[in-house]
A = this chain, B = another copy of it.
Amino acid sequence: MKTIAKDSKKRVTIYSVAREAGVSLATVSRVINDSDVVKEDTKRKVQEAIIKLGYKPNAVAQGLALKKSTNIALIIPDSSFTYIGKVFNGLLDVAKIYKYNIILHTTSSGVNEMNEIVDNVIKSHADGIILYNDYFTPEELEILNSFEIPMVYLDVRASSKQSCCVYVDYQQAVYELTMRYLQKGIDDIVVIDDKKNPINVKQILAGVQQAFEEKGKKFEGFIPIPEYAHSSYDFLTKYFKKNRHKLVITYRDSQALAVLNTCTENGINIPEETEVVCIKGSRYTDMVRPQISSFDVPAYDLGSLAMRILTKMLNGDDIQDREFRLNYVFKEKGSTKR
């Protein structure tokens, strides 16, 4: 029995299917695109041919014809990954060298590689962009915007005519937190810098300052991480050997852990003498002892909402709100007093 050679290495195209089914390629196209004008009978024939040949439409060709690639660029700082992140870093570095795109675009702090990324995003004809918590300069954003690709900022409050954002109001969260302490008469509050999340730290500072100002005080508790420090963990370990404060606010879980460990090891009781709050709670803030009080951020929703909004934009739907705020919950644990 002679069939279309199944062992031929040639990828099966819409032509082969058409031939096999004895119809034109237009008809096959209609079938795979669920057009309802095709007669039930022909449709069946085509579908059988598709299955028989194992045909799968070539998305690249579809992309060319439709002028849309059906992929979206996700731009994200490589520092955002934890363990598995390292694997990604490796993958992506080399992929970049060899010009293979993993459409996960990561940015590394310092290096001015934004142009390269914009380039890649444009060339790959991403239909939309999701930009996670990153520090593009206004000029770079301008360039990105000039291509008028729908974009949503993730975890950052910013928007423009072509973009929306999904964010958590860290400023408000920290404002409320600070306010509670100030009302208790506690103002020895410090905020730890986080080079990897400058935007968030800025928001945290804004929240603290807002509270201080409202109370007629001046906030001076910002603790920068010096350039020479190996890591913020190292620096904090040293800093808290000598200094103590009533309330320490950190963004990342690892920083909160550094404070926790150092204080404990130096006989400073937590939370009696020093209280610690981590803004971005994680599984780990719950797994250490004492557990670290933190904000519960709806990470999943942040992602899904961003994507959902982007698809709406791509769909040409009318979007009234451009900024979507998600709520947080303060989880009071062992690192703060009741």
Contacts and interface: CB of A to CB of B under 8 A. Distances in A.
Interface stretch (A39-47, A84-92, A176-184): A84-92
Interface in A64-88: 64, 69-72, 74, 76, 80-88
A109 interface: no
Contact of A82 (B64, B125, B258, B282): B282
A288 interface: yes
Q: How many copies does the complex hold?
A: 2
Interface stretch (A53-61, A187-195, A220-228, A238-246): A53-61
Contact of A104 (B57, B90, B104): B104
Interface residues of A, number: 77
A102 B104 contact: yes
A100 B311 contact: yes
Contacts of A86: 299-300, 303
Given A95-B72, A304-B94, A82 B283 contact: yes
A148 interface: yes
A130 B100 contact: no
A103 interface: yes
Nearest to A83: B282
B307 A132 contact: no
A263 B287 CA distance: 13
Interface string A266-307: 000000000000001011100111000000000111111111
Contacts of A82: 82-84, 282-283
A261 interface: yes
A74 B89 contact: no
A295 to B, nearest CB: 13
Contact of A90 (B64, B72, B301): B301
A154 interface: yes
Given A64-B61, A82-B83, A86-B299, A103 B100 contact: no
A305 B86 CA distance: 12
Contacts of A148: 9
A207 interface: no
Interface string A240-261: 0000000000000010011001
Interface stretch (A16-24, A116-124, A157-165): A116-124
A80 to B, nearest CB: 5
Given A84-B80, A311-B100, A90 B303 contact: yes
18 contacts: A59-B125, A70-B99, A72-B101, A74-B104, A82-B84, A87-B299, A90-B300, A90-B302, A90-B307, A91-B304, A92-B307, A93-B304, A93-B307, A94-B304, A95-B307, A95-B311, A101-B103, A284-B284
Interface of A: 9, 56-61, 63-64, 69-72, 74, 76, 80-95, 97-104, 119, 122-125, 127-128, 130, 132, 148, 154, 233, 254, 257-258, 261, 264-265, 280, 282-284, 287-289, 299-308, 310-311, 314
